[in-house]
Amino acid sequence: MSEEILTTFDEQGNITGTAPRDEVHRLGLWHETFHCWFVRKDDSGLMIYLQLRSRHKRDYAGLLDITAAGHLLADETVEDGVREVQEELGLKLAFAELKPLGIIPYQMDTAGFMDRERANVFVYENNYALSDFILQQEEVAGIVLARFTEFRSFIAGAGSTLHVQGFRVTAGGERAEIDEQVDHAQLVPHETAYYLRVIEGIEALYS
């Protein structure tokens, strides 16, 4: 597979050029990503969906993360980012179905890996059943839901665990039920400020 080429930016959001993905992360260059958070309304309130990252992922393997997300390549527009939903979750959505939360810049630096993203963040109100999700197993190992109010408290530090329910795909390709409490170590460590911006945006849409 050819190496992914990303557009690079300065801290003010001005385009500075392009670079291979590995170089972007090695040098800590700002780049664009697409994030799509699924939510669902039911009689008891709002639910939020998290993906369980595959244990084969190079980064943050086996942790809970944004419902669907990925890098925008140098030749792609933000609208092209919706392909991530179909690739990772097997659901074909129209870009017009997504509700924008804007661009949220944030960074995560670890040893040998500096991730500086201009995240184009969207919300999708999901009506698909979990049985409709066809996961890209090299990327996604499962899907879970949590109550939005509990997720908000969890992110804000008011709760040490979060109750999630859903499924994971086993090594044999079967679906195993998830119904458990998870802690902060099981969540991808995006900046708290990023999570709070997402939560505030969702609250503004559904208040």
Cα of first residue to Cα of last residue in the chain, in angstroms, is 44
Q: How confident is the model at residue 20 (pLDDT cuts 50, 70, 90)?
A: very high
Residue 83 is encoded by which pair of tokens?
């392909």
Strands (E), the chain: 5-9, 15-20, 30-42, 45-53, 64-65, 68-71, 99-110, 113-125, 140-147, 161-169, 175-183
pLDDT value for 69: 97
Whether pLDDT at 22 is above 80: yes
pLDDT value for 114: 87
Percent of the chain having pLDDT more than 90?
89
Q: How confident is the model at residue 207 (pLDDT cuts 50, 70, 90)?
A: confident
Q: Average the pLDDT over 180-199 and give the result.
A: 96
Whether pLDDT at 112 is above 90: no
Q: Average the pLDDT over 9-36 and give the result.
A: 95
Topology (CATH level 3) of domain 5-206 = Nucleoside Triphosphate Pyrophosphohydrolase (3.90.79)
- Whole-model pTM? 0.95
pLDDT value for 2: 66
Q: From CA 23, how far away is CA 7, in angstroms rounded?
A: 12
Whether pLDDT at 91 is above 80: yes
Q: From CA 105, how far away is CA 29, in angstroms rounded?
A: 12
pLDDT value for 67: 98
Backbone angles phi, psi at 158, to 5 degrees: -80, -15
Q: From CA 118, how far away is CA 32, in angstroms rounded?
A: 5
Domain ranges of the chain: 5-206
Q: What is the mean pLDDT of the chain?
A: 95
